[in-house]
A = this chain, B = another copy of it.
Amino acid sequence: MQQTFRLIIDCPDQIGLVAAVSEFLAQQQATILEANHHSDRQLGRFFMRHEIMADTVNLDKQALEQAFAPIAERFNMRWRITDSLQKQRVALLASHESHCLNDLLHRWHSGELACDIPCIIANHPQMKQFADWYKVPFHWVDFKNQDKTAAFKEIATLLEAYNIDLTVLARFMQILPDTLCEQLAGRAINIHHSFLPSFAGAKPYQQAYERGVKLIGATCHYVTQDLDEGPIIEQEVIRISHSDTAADMVRKGKNCETTALAAGVRYHLEDRVIIHQNKTVVFA
């Protein structure tokens, strides 16, 4: 995989902003692989992502950051430069449903998700078999024989010990405590098995059955203290009919869940998502 640098920016919209950034990149002789802009007229805010070939610039990442800093300051930017070769460290949190876990692990293993997965944490021991096959350390956190505070403290300790950049709740069926949500703000992704805001909370398929909707879906979003209310990254839906039983809905929904979660995680890992307030700009 070729090395790229990604320059991610958001700031108040101003004239001269794009010119300054592209002038800077041209001066570095950067070959631009992908450039995306978005101007939110309602907010007066500008969002921008550049992906450039690292070997076309003469500076390393740190020097590039130093060179760019004055521009960032001038335009009051929230910004970062990332290096595609510095893989993020991702922890997968799972419970007893294995479809998302299996799907993410396979995509990672086949190179679709460019990250490291230093650990899997689960509240059910049987997920260990997946971890073992992929040779990923597995941690079973017991949610039955200790209280939740203790269990989540275990998890927080693990995330810190493994130096985790991104926590993915791959159908992890426990609600994260507020302190952990805060700590992981913008760095924890969940998959909810409905097209939010419909059927938030528990048992969305049962809710969908009862309401008689003709579509079910899944929502990949950042975890926040407000349950199922975090910034949405991706959503998928699928058509159902009266003839779909609860079991059919679960089966069909799983396809939505795996697809939406995998897409959301990939967007995050490739620095394609910018969170602003409670929404996302996704340069897909």
Contact = CB atoms under 8 A, between A and B. Distances in A.
B22 A212 contact: no
Contacts of A241: 282, 284
Contacts of A246: 42
8 smallest A-B Cβ distances: which pairs?
A212-B279, A19-B26, A19-B22, A18-B22, A16-B26, A242-B281, A214-B235, A198-B198
A234 B34 CA distance: 23
A70 interface: no
B235 A38 contact: no
Is chain A's interface secondary structure helix, strand, loop, or mixed overall? mixed
Given A38-B243, A106-B98, A212 B112 contact: no
Contacts of A198: 195-198
A259 to B, nearest CB: 6
Interface string A218-237: 00000000000001111101
Nearest to A18: B22
B278 A212 contact: yes
Indicate how many identical chains form the complex: 4
A48 to B, nearest CB: 9
5 contacts: A15-B26, A40-B242, A47-B242, A195-B195, A214-B235
Contacts of A19: 19, 22-23, 25-26
Nearest to A112: B251
Given A99-B110, A235-B213, A242 B23 contact: no
A282 B34 CA distance: 16
